[in-house]
Structures are given as structure tokens and as C-alpha cells.
């Protein structure tokens, strides 16, 4: 028999077809003074012959069914609504972009819709605290040594989707960012998982810590504009000018395009104005439609990447590497990306792939079909287009609490700043006062008391929960949100141990949970102590991909004598899963129905 352990990610909601074999709660003969009026009756399943819980003996007499103290089943019990706790991760940097240490709770001011909130919990995360967290999770494996188990077993804690905007990149930019990204990858933490994606959808590498695979994927990054260049067309019209003319009715811009058309199509014959106007209208419409199509394609792929990233169990960051791009009437698409990221607690950091650049006043890719009369206008439009291209990058970053990095040739340093876990971050939590369950967006602002010289990076808002008719659905949503996080919750005392058992044909992974009962808020009814515990257990592989999972609902109607003993000894429940050899992340969340208290723990297991 062999033992082992590991930790986990996303969740599928279904009732675990597991069984329970009831044994003596305290590992000994039950105290005869406990008047439970029950017998011990084991229940088994054809696929699992091991006990799955340590619970009070159960009564099988149908006439006394209402006196059963503990049962494991899906229930229709009433769930209370948990007080919505909003968590805000904050990074504070000085003028040199170094993280600021040693800040206290009283240094932070948090505003929700402009109203100052009380910070109910405060934590500091550093590189050492992350290591300690990983070591604690590794020790859940039963055969882990006293020094924290296998040092090579690293849990995925942070998922970074590096997205290259290859639909807008130039070849020069692509070569530069490929080289810089290769150097950046050498600096990632063992607990980081990096995925590489492109807005064209042509390159995709799912989350991994394999540097060789990531660097090989980088070599495939190159410009992939979806539409042919119009650099040699007469007249040349870019997307910025087409938007000015068609959507903003800029007559001056239109006159410039017509003048350019007269020069390139009719050798300056001003008698051809009407023909030139028709050609100009056609070129403007064609360029606007092409730009809109390309942007729409870009946004759809960003949505797909966000959807993938949102399903990862831990801190989630998107790093968009792009030269920026113009927007016409697609601000709703941009806001949709920001909204989706905020709902999924994804931070979007953006990096201007152009680096330190001087505005190009004479773009050689543009056909010189204008005249001396329009040359100044052409240059001013090109300059405005280049300057405004980065606005979309700034908007993505500011809208999600991220950081924009631009106007610098230190692309490697920029990627490290935007994609690596900060040396020090602060986690603030608050419960909004008089919050309505209307699903609306709430703005958040975090400032520092008396320390305005520092910059503060934090999420810009959150969505209030929606009121649902079924309390169980709300409880399920709360558990699901907790499962996708890796933050540990301590409303209830929870310890877990992982074990694995190898047979000739399969591997059985068991998660043994011990819950402290004394802290649970039971409700008194008919002389019993009533509450229900939901235990959600999810298994992920070492790259954060969902493997398996399940949910158990423990219904408790404890007599006072049983409650007193369980308050001293706690409650042990065992869940088993069929897996293959490998490294796994285990994430368990426990929620009670009466007090809406929650606990969450991480574990790790390596099965050779």
C-alpha cells in the first residue's frame, strides 16, 4: 500500500455517487450515555470497500428515521445567504516600480461607490509566504517528509495568459518581443503556469511550466493580419481616417482623401472631382469594414482566452502584448472584455510592443499619392493614429486594475513586471454596507493614507451578487467561487490529508477531511442541533486542468450528547476518486447552511 497527495482547480456540479460506511465517531465504542437510539449499519458501493467517514452510528429503523443524527445525501434544506465579502489584492509601488513593503491595515482606505468601507481582514503575501503555503499543501500527502515533502512538487498558484496581438503586430515588433519574451520566461516562478495565445488564433499553447515548450511556441509568433494591406492602393486610407470620415463626419479628412485621389488617379486633374469622390467613398468604406472585421476577430479571440483563463484555480492574469489598435464604433466590445475580466477576477496587464518609439511622420508603408497641399494633413493624421493606438491598451489595464507598460525598450523588464508575481502584495477584504443583491457593478477605489507618493494597483470594481429564488443555487455559486480561488478560508477549522492506494488496474486517491464542529453555528429544532455541511472536493493536474471532483452534503440532527462529543473530537469525512499516476492539486471547500460559514484548504499529491 502506498500513500501520497496534491492540489486543485475548477469544479463540475454534480452529486458524488459515493457511499458512506458509518463507524464509531471517536474510534471507540460509543458512550452508552449518548441516547442516540441507533445501530451501526455500514453501507457499501461495488467500487469502493473502504470507509468514507467517521460519523455517529445511524438508525435503520424506518419508524425512527426522523431521529437519524447524521446522513449523507442531497437535501432541500434552507441555506442562509453569506455576507458578501469582497476581496481586493493590492500592489503598491514606488517611483522605481519596486513594491513597497511593511504597510499596515491602517495605511489603506477602501471606497465602495465612494463610501469608505471597514477593512475586515488584512493579509500580506510575499515570496516566502507563498513558499510556506506550497510546503503546507505538500505536507497533506501522508508520506511527505517533515521538511515539506518533495521539493520538486510545486503547486500552480498563478496563471498568466500571454496574448500576442499578431493581427496588429509588425514584423519588427514581433521579432523584438519574441526575443524579449524568451528572456522573461527564464525568470518565472515554479508555481507559475504560462499559456501563450494569439489574437489570430493561429498559435496556442495551454498553461504549462515547461520552458522548452513555451520557448518553442514563441518561435511561431509573427504578424498575421487577417486582411491584405492597402499600402499600394489609390488612395491609401487607414482605419483611423476612415473612422473620422464615416463615423465622425470629418469633412476635412474627406477632402484630404479626395485631393490624394485626384493626384494618384488623375494626375492632379481637378476636373475629375466627382469621380475622385466616388473612388474615395469606396476606399473609405472598404477600409472601415476591413478594420471593423479585424477588430471583431481580435475581440472574439480575447473572449475565448478570458473564458479559458477564468477556469483556472488561482490568481489569473492576462498579459496583452500589442502595438495597440484603433477603435471605431466598437467600444461596447471593449467594455465587454473588461466586464468579462472583472466578473472572473482576471487582471489585464498590457505592454506596448512598439517599445520606445518616435512618431513616424513619413510611414514608408504608405503609398505617397498625395500632393504638397495635403502632405501636412496626412502626417498629422498618421501622428494622431499612432498616438491613439495605445488608448485601448490603457483602457484594458485601468478597467481591470492592471498596469500599462509603454514607451520603453525594456520589453523583458516590462514583461517581468507585468507577468511575474509581485514581491509583496496586500489582500484586503470588506463587507459592503447595505448592499443590494441586484447584480450591479460597484466601483472600488483604494488609496493610501498620507502616502500619495506611491502608486496603487488594485481592481477597479466588482459585481454585486444577484438575488436568486433558490438559496441552494446561491450557496452553490459561493462554493464554486471559492473553489476557483486558492485563498484559504478559516471560518471553520478544516484539515485535510491525502492518501493514494494503488491496485493492479487503478489508483484510488482519498481525501480525508477533519472539520471542527465547535465553531459551527447549529440551529436548535425539536431538541436537536441542526445544520448541513456541503463538502466540495476538486482534483486538478499540475497545470490546473480539471481532472475530477464531487460534492457531499452532510445533514446533521445531533442530540446534545453527540454534539458535545463532536465538539471535542470534530468530524472526519473521506472522499475517494479514481485517478492515474501524476501530480495533482486538491482543493476542498466546506460550507455550512445555517451560519453560511466557509473553510477552504489546498493539498498536493504526487503519485509515481
Instruction: Tell me if 63 is assigned to some domain.
Output: yes
> What pairs with residue 158 in β-bridges?
192, 315
Instruction: Tell me if 185 is assigned to some domain.
Output: yes
Same domain, 63 and 201: no
* pLDDT tens column, 52-91: 445 555 454 444 444 678 887 543 334 455 556 788 999 9
State the pLDDT at residue 377. Answer: 85
> Domains in the chain: how many in total?
3
* pLDDT tens column, 486-496: 888 888 999 99
Q: What is the CB neighbour count within 10 angstroms for residue 576?
A: 23
State the pLDDT at residue 372. Answer: 64
- Which residue carries 483604494 as its cell? 446
Instruction: Tell me if 32 is assigned to some domain.
Output: no
Please answer whether residues 453 and 571 qualify as being in contact, where contact means their C-beta atoms are separated by less than 8 angstroms: no
Query: Rounded to two decimals, what is the model's pTM?
Result: 0.79
State the pLDDT at residue 147. Answer: 41
Distance CA 318, CA 346 (A): 7
State the pLDDT at residue 595. Answer: 81
pLDDT reading at 138 higher than 70: yes
State the DSSP code for 141. Answer: B
> What pairs with residue 426 in β-bridges?
90, 124
Same domain, 273 and 296: yes
Rg of the chain in Å (alpha carbons): 30
pLDDT reading at 541 higher than 90: yes
Please answer whether residues 587 and 537 qualify as being in contact, where contact means their C-beta atoms are separated by less than 8 angstroms: yes
Distance CA 587, CA 608 (A): 20
CATH code, domain with 71 = 2.60.40.10
Q: Round the average pLDDT of the chain to a whole number and report it.
A: 81
State the pLDDT at residue 433. Answer: 78
pLDDT band at 153; cut points 50, 70, 90 = low
Same domain, 454 and 498: no
* pLDDT tens column, 248-288: 999 999 999 999 999 989 998 999 999 999 999 999 999 99
Query: Nine-digit cell at 592?
Result: 455550512
State the pLDDT at residue 374. Answer: 78
Instruction: Tell me if 17 is assigned to some domain.
Output: no
Q: What is the CB neighbour count within 10 angstroms for residue 196?
A: 25
CATH code, domain with 214 = 3.40.50.410
Instruction: Tell me if 44 is assigned to some domain.
Output: no
Mean pLDDT over 553-582 rounds to 93
Same domain, 373 and 505: no
Least confident stretch, 108-122, 175-189, 200-214: 175-189
Question: Structural domain of residue 438, as residue ranges?
Answer: 86-136+150-154+425-463
Instruction: Tell me if 8 is assigned to some domain.
Output: no
State the pLDDT at residue 578. Answer: 93
* pLDDT tens column, 397-454: 999 989 999 989 899 999 988 988 888 999 999 988 777 777 788 899 999 998 778 9
Q: H or E stretch including 280?
A: helix 273-310
pLDDT band at 568; cut points 50, 70, 90 = very high
State the pLDDT at residue 144. Answer: 56
Same domain, 485 and 559: yes
Distance CA 319, CA 164 (A): 8
Mean pLDDT over 357-375 rounds to 56
Distance CA 300, CA 509 (A): 39
pLDDT band at 50; cut points 50, 70, 90 = very low
> What pairs with residue 162 in β-bridges?
196, 319
Same domain, 198 and 94: no
Which of 177, 170, 178, 172 lies closest to 225 in space, CA to CA? 170
Biggest distance spanned by C-alpha atoms of the chain: 111
Same domain, 330 and 454: no
End-to-end CA distance of the chain: 13
pLDDT band at 469; cut points 50, 70, 90 = low
Instruction: Tell me if 365 is assigned to some domain.
Output: yes
Same domain, 334 and 348: yes
Q: What is the CB neighbour count within 10 angstroms for residue 557?
A: 20
Chain Cα centroid distance, residue 29: 48
Same domain, 540 and 442: no
Which of 262, 175, 254 lies closest to 222 in space, CA to CA? 175
Please answer whether residues 598 and 41 qualify as being in contact, where contact means their C-beta atoms are separated by less than 8 angstroms: no
Is the link from the previous residue into 62 a cis peptide, with omega within 30 of 0? no
State the pLDDT at residue 460. Answer: 87
State the pLDDT at residue 152. Answer: 54
Same domain, 440 and 535: no
Least confident stretch, 106-120, 190-204, 466-480, 502-516: 466-480
Same domain, 265 and 397: yes
Please answer whether residues 426 and 124 qualify as being in contact, where contact means their C-beta atoms are separated by less than 8 angstroms: yes
pLDDT band at 47; cut points 50, 70, 90 = very low
Which of 445, 461, 456, 489 lies closest to 90 in space, CA to CA? 456
pLDDT band at 3; cut points 50, 70, 90 = very low
Instruction: Tell me if 540 is assigned to some domain.
Output: yes
Same domain, 202 and 58: no
pLDDT band at 382; cut points 50, 70, 90 = confident
State the pLDDT at residue 450. Answer: 80
Amino acid at each position: 500500500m502506498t500513500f501520497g497527495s496534491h492540489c486543485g482547480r475548477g469544479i463540475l456540479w454534480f452529486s458524488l455517487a459515493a457511499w458512506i460506511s458509518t463507524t464509531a465517531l471517536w474510534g471507540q465504542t460509543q458512550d452508552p450515555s449518548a441516547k442516540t437510539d441507533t445501530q451501526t449499519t455500514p453501507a457499501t458501493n461495488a467500487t469502493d470497500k473502504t470507509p468514507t467517514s467517521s460519523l455517529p452510528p445511524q438508525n435503520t429503523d424506518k419508524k425512527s428515521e426522523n431521529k437519524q443524527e447524521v446522513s449523507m445525501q442531497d437535501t432541500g434544506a434552507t441555506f442562509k445567504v453569506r455576507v458578501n465579502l469582497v476581496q481586493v489584492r493590492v500592489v503598491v509601488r514606488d517611483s522605481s516600480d519596486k513594491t513597497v513593503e511593511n504597510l499596515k491595515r491602517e495605511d489603506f482606505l477602501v471606497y465602495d461607490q465612494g463610501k469608505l468601507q471597514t477593512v475586515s481582514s488584512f493579509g500580506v503575501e510575499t515570496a516566502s509566504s507563498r513558499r510556506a503555503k506550497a510546503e503546507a499543501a505538500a505536507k497533506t500527502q501522508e508520506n511527505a517528509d517533515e521538511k515539506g515533502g518533495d521539493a520538486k512538487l510545486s503547486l500552480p498558484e498563478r496563471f498568466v495568459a500571454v496574448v500576442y496581438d499578431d493581427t496588429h503586430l509588425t514584423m519588427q515588433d514581433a521579432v523584438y518581443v519574441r526575443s524579449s519574451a524568451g528572456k522573461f520566461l527564464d525568470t518565472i516562478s515554479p508555481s507559475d503556469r504560462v499559456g501563450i495565445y494569439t489574437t489570430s488564433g493561429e498559435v496556442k499553447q495551454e498553461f504549462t511550466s515547461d520552458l522548452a515548450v513555451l520557448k518553442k511556441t514563441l518561435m511561431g509568433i509573427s504578424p498575421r493580419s487577417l486582411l491584405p494591406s492597402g499600402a499600394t492602393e489609390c488612395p491609401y486610407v487607414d482605419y483611423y481616417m476612415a473612422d473620422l470620415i464615416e463615423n465622425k463626419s470629418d469633412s476635412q479628412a474627406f477632402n484630404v482623401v479626395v485631393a490624394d485621389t485626384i493626384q494618384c488617379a488623375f494626375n492632379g486633374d481637378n476636373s475629375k472631382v466627382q469621380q475622385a469622390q466616388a473612388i474615395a467613398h469606396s476606399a473609405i468604406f472598404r477600409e472601415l469594414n476591413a478594420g471593423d472585421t479585424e477588430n471583431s476577430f481580435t475581440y472574439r479571440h480575447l473572449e475565448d482566452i478570458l473564458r479559458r483563463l477564468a477556469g483556472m484555480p488561482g490568481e489569473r492574469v492576462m498579459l496583452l502584448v500589442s502595438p495597440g489598435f484603433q477603435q471605431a464604433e466598437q467600444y461596447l466590445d471593449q467594455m465587454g472584455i473588461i466586464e468579462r475580466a472583472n466578473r472572473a477576477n482576471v487582471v489585464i496587464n498590457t505592454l506596448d510592443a512598439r517599445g520606445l518609439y518616435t512618431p513616424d511622420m513619413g510611414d514608408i508603408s504608405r503609398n505617397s499619392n498625395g500632393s504638397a497641399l495635403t502632405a501636412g494633413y496626412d502626417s498629422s493624421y498618421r501622428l494622431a493614429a499612432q498616438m491613439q493606438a495605445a488608448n485601448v491598451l490603457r483602457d484594458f489595464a485601468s478597467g481591470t486594475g492592471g498596469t500599462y507598460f509603454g514607451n520603453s525598450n525594456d520589453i523583458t523588464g516590462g514583461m517581468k513586471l507585468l507577468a511575474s508575481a509581485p514581491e509583496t502584495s496586500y489582500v484586503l477584504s470588506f463587507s459592503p454596507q447595505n448592499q443590494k443583491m441586484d447584480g450591479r457593478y460597484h466601483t472600488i477605489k483604494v488609496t493610501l493614507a498620507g502616502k500619495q507618493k506611491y502608486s496603487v494597483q488594485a481592481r477597479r470594481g466588482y459585481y454585486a451578487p444577484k438575488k436568486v429564488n433558490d438559496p441552494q443555487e446561491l450557496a452553490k455559486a459561493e462554493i464554486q467561487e471559492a473553489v476557483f480561488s486558492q485563498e484559504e478560508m478559516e471560518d471553520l477549522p478544516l484539515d485535510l490529508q491525502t492518501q493514494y492506494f494503488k491496485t493492479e488496474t487503478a489508483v484510488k486517491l482519498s481525501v480525508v477531511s477533519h472539520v471542527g464542529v465547535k465553531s459551527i453555528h447549529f440551529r436548535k429544532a425539536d431538541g436537536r442541533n441542526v445544520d448541513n455541511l456541503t463538502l466540495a472536493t476538486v482534483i486538478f493536474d499540475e497545470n490546473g486542468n480539471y481532472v475530477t471532483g464531487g460534492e457531499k452534503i452532510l445533514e446533521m440532527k445531533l442530540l446534545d450528547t453527540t454534539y458535545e462529543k463532536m465538539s471535542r473530537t470534530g468530524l472526519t469525512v473521506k472522499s475517494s476518486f479514481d485517478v492515474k499516476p501524476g501530480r495533482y492539486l486538491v482543493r476542498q471547500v466546506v460550507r455550512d447552511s445555517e451560519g453560511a460559514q466557509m473553510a477552504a484548504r489546498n493539498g498536493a499529491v504526487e503519485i509515481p
